[in-house]
A and B are shown apart, each in its own frame.
Chain A
Amino acid sequence: MSNRRDFIKISALGLGGAAVAASSYNLMGGNKLFAADKKPLEFRGHNLKRFPTYCEICFWKCAGWTYVNENNEIVKVVGNEEDPHCNGRLCPRGTGGPGMYYDQDRLKTPLIRVEKDGKQTFREASWDEALEYTAKKLKEVGEKHGPECIALFNHGSGGKYFGDLLKGFGSNNIAAPSFAQCRGPRETAWIATYGEEVGSPEPTDIRDTRCLVLIGSHIGENMHNGQVQEMSDAIDKGATIITVDPRFSTAASKSKYWLPIKPATDLALLLAWIHVLIYEDIYNKYFVGQYTYGFDLLKDHVKNMTPEWAYGKTTIKPDVIRKTAREMAEAAPAVIVHPGRHVTWYGDDTQRVRAAAILNALLGSWGSRGGFYLKESAHLPSIEHPPFPKPRRTWRDAYPGQFKLATLALASGICDATIPTSNRDCSFKAWIVYGTNLPLTLPNMQNTLEAISHLEFMVVIDTMPMEITGYADVIFPECTYLERYDLVRTSPHRDPYLALRMPAVEPKYNSKPGWWIAKKLAEKMGLGDYFPYNDITELLDWQLKQVGSSLEEMQKIGVKKLDRKGGNLYYTRGEDVEFNTPSGKIELFSNELAAENFDPMPVFKQHPEPPAGFYRLIYGRAPMHTFSRTANNPNLTDLMKENSVWVNPKVAKLWGLKTGQNVWLKNQDDVVTTFPIKVRITERIRWDSVYMVHGFGHSDKLLSRAYGKGASDSEMITHVMVDPIMGGTGMRGNFITFLTEKPVKEVES
């Protein structure tokens, strides 16, 4: 069957992108580019100049310096010592940043889908033509179905520009998979408890903690730089680490206590910990009395949730549960029960993270040294532009009465609502996709591809060919973060900080910065007023001057610390605090959840277990890769080329598997991985589970280093357990088995 939106292999085109003349538009803000740092550094016989940046290889956004030699070649990227995200030390991905710039597989010039001799293909286009065509198509969809039938999926620094474009057009359907596929349940749980979200970076005061509790968080494998650094400092200072993980993670290997929990039972353990704190009378009475609401209700609620009750579910021995609870109480309030980050596991994730939030409240760690600090971020004023029109409909109209506590749009929800149904009067008709490879990011790849097949138009903005680009109607090649300006980084920390990203070199090939693409597209759609500047440097300079800095200053220093305005880093004894919850207190009993008819206090529910011969699929991160985005970076593939499937030796014996052997994985829905994956037999994983690193198994041949390397966990995640509270997609309920022979493709009759 031929689909209008067949996947197109861009390779058919040849790679002559550079042949299209670059526009004469001045991307560099005049000669400011090379004014940044006059002091040359000698390096391998070269004189180097350096330019400030902040990293775009993950969301931690560490600030650094890009070093360029006299031939305008990028030689290295090094952390900025003033930056609290990295303290002068980038992680392997940041250090491997030049690989993203040098990757010869990059998108090079705008491409438009055309039909030629009955076959679909991409043809190269000038920026002007591609922008004109995209503006026309988006306007057509807007006129036919309404602008709110257009959605934006985004991840990364440039999402704001395309968000403003879409809002100006009349749609606020703007979603990032980082909410419903990742940290959404955590934010909803924290708002229900503390009246504010955890945010990024998490305000965990790890450097001064005496006890760090990790529930499935694998710090060190997830390379959240500042946290990894502070965990190392905490180890130096002799802090107790308690890790709960069915896998012997790197963090588990650094821990005083590793609790090898049976998967899907974490909530039982958390409730038993709460029970011990309350019934052994070792909770933080001052904090609970001063700041919390609903303690007596909670006490009654967990009455029977004893360590013995939890033992049968979690397989963690009662004395270990008691001992670890006492360790936490001993350390309190300098204790952190980490809220986690990727927490969309079993569909009751908001409730599980709520239990962690409650536990922190009982220990009094919120707003305490060694617990959670009171973060602060810099505020840059927005430049004045006409008000955005009010959209007639939003994505929420597709889910009447559901997911009311979702604070951000659901990427999965918009994807699902793109597939037309008879009981919905409007489905999404066009997507703008910025920097997110949806087929490997959303669960259930087949569902995502079906949604895409119903679209009338899709434009993708990215630096690399990805699975998503093959399905686009128009592709805009963005230059990498090392070649562009972006908005000033203002993410929160112990003190408010500014960090500047500026280009170190001209954009390679015929690529352009995201802000330029969005602005030009806006102009062609008659929405230029929403981008009231000629060059982003005008906006940056104006914004920076409002807070006592300037573009010129930031080009020299890269990172600037501002003064805190919001008081102390921790609560002072007896301080009166009004929390943004219905009761004004930290809610152990959640009035917000009760009002929506959800359990006001977490209740443990049993989750399905793998049938005989199947194993629960657990996935995670490797320190040298970010999701599926870095799998082709030449520096980073050199560190890790492919993932493997971790198998316990007892399971391997049963199946006769050997380390290094290729297997195909098949899940409970009979879906088989496209590519084989190598077996790694290891004692680091339980016998009822397997583990693999997320982000491999790329099927786009244009990724010359990543194509067919390892297997994709996303492909195996066809069973999704949706969190009824906020729409998170629980993805840890998939079970796989092994195929040791290459599966024969069934031919459709």
Chain B
Amino acid sequence: MRYAMAVDTKKCVGCSDCVVACQTENNVPIGYCRDWIVENVDGTYPNVEIELRSERCNHCDNSPCVRCCPTGASHIVEGGIVLVTHEKCIGCGACIQSCPYDARYSHPDGYVDKCTFCEHRVKKGDQPACVAVCPTKCLYFGDLDDPYSDVSQVLKHRKFKVLAPEAGTNPQIYFLT
């Protein structure tokens, strides 16, 4: 099993619903977030393009955050989800430094926090909160090992890219272009 997510940049309107849904679902304190929106504007008026992306932890196969964690708090569970055990985390921040995607933050309670792919929902068969709420249905989630999952299907039929492929992390968030 290999969980992954695809983000359709052609449909995303950058409304940030994924951000607030994650905050309420995961009790993320006001002022922090586990997912966020990036708007890239390219060109000169009137020949302009925008790419809108909902971004989060890439749940990398080769995850530098897990490798550098001194306590084993950062670890990988079934389906390739990268998690942080809050009780084991000493808040040293090595993982924050190592992440090429700036996907982790220091929680005010002293540990490092990040996207969990809503593991608590996914193991019950639900979609992550961001995927379930997205009004444009631009987020696709599922098991890459299952050829019929939403994410496998959409990656089969569409062009896509990943962020910072040169970092060699083998990220599992795919951006449909």
Seen from chain A, the residues whose Cβ lies within 8 Å of a Cβ on chain B are: 44, 75-76, 78-79, 86, 88-92, 95-96, 98, 220-221, 223, 225, 228-229, 231-233, 235-236, 248, 250-251, 253-254, 258, 260, 623-624, 634-636, 638-640, 648, 682-687
Contacts and interface: CB of A to CB of B under 8 A. Distances in A.
Nearest to A648: B45
B134 A92 contact: no
Interface string B1-45: 000000000110111110111011101001101000000010111
A92 B45 contact: no
Contact of B46 (A44, A78, A248, A250): A248
Contacts of A639: 16, 19-20
B134 A89 contact: yes
B19 to A, nearest CB: 6
Contacts of A229: 135-137
A638 B19 CA distance: 10
Contacts of B50: 248, 250, 253, 684
27 contacts: A76-B25, A79-B133, A88-B132, A89-B133, A90-B17, A91-B135, A92-B17, A95-B21, A223-B15, A225-B135, A229-B135, A229-B136, A235-B10, A236-B11, A250-B50, A250-B52, A253-B52, A623-B16, A623-B17, A624-B15, A634-B30, A635-B30, A638-B20, A639-B16, A639-B20, A640-B16, A686-B45
B20 A92 contact: yes
A685 B133 CA distance: 30
Residue from the set A79, A232, A250, A685 with the largest chain B CB neighbour count within 10 Å: A232
Residue from the set B13, B41, B48 with the largest chain A CB neighbour count within 10 Å: B13
Given A89-B135, A90-B133, A636-B20, A254 B10 contact: yes
A248 B45 CA distance: 8
B145 interface: no
A228 B136 contact: yes
A75 B24 CA distance: 7
A220 B17 contact: no
Contacts of B146: none
Contacts of B27: 44
Given A95-B24, A636-B20, A639-B19, A223 B41 contact: no
Nearest to A638: B30
B38 to A, nearest CB: 14
Given A90-B17, A248-B45, A686-B45, A223 B11 contact: no
Nearest to A233: B137
Given A91-B17, A624-B15, A684-B45, 14 more contacts: A44-B120, A75-B24, A89-B133, A89-B137, A232-B13, A248-B50, A254-B10, A258-B46, A623-B17, A635-B20, A635-B30, A682-B41, A683-B48, A684-B50
A703 to B, nearest CB: 16
Contacts of A220: 13-15, 136
Q: Is the interface on chain B under 10, 10 to 19, 20 to 34, or 35 or more residues?
A: 20 to 34
B102 interface: no
B19 A92 contact: yes
A686 B14 CA distance: 22
Contacts of B46: 248, 258, 260
B146 to A, nearest CB: 22
B91 to A, nearest CB: 22
Contacts of A90: 17, 133, 135
A649 to B, nearest CB: 8
Given A95-B20, A639-B20, A683 B10 contact: no
A254 B136 CA distance: 12
A624 B135 contact: no
Q: Which 10 A-B pairs have the closest CB atoms?
A: A220-B13, A623-B15, A232-B136, A253-B50, A260-B46, A92-B17, A76-B24, A639-B16, A248-B48, A232-B11
Residue from the set A90, A231, A236, A639 with the largest chain B CB neighbour count within 10 Å: A639
Residue from the set A233, A258, A624, A683 with the largest chain B CB neighbour count within 10 Å: A683
Contacts of A258: 46
A742 to B, nearest CB: 28
Contact of A260 (B11, B16, B41, B45): B45
Given A250-B50, A635-B24, A223 B30 contact: no
A95 B23 CA distance: 10
B41 A684 contact: yes
A265 to B, nearest CB: 15
A624 B16 contact: yes
A644 B156 CA distance: 40
Nearest to B24: A76
A313 B39 CA distance: 32
A685 to B, nearest CB: 7
Contacts of B31: 638
B45 A89 contact: no
B122 interface: no
B35 to A, nearest CB: 12
Nearest to A235: B11
Contacts of B15: 91-92, 220, 223, 228, 623-624
B138 interface: yes
Contacts of B20: 92, 95-96, 624, 635-636, 638-639
A470 to B, nearest CB: 26
A635 B19 CA distance: 10
Residue from the set B44, B45, B49, B137 with the largest chain A CB neighbour count within 10 Å: B45
B87 to A, nearest CB: 15
B136 A683 contact: no
Nearest to A102: B30
A104 to B, nearest CB: 12
A254 B15 CA distance: 14
A92 B43 CA distance: 29
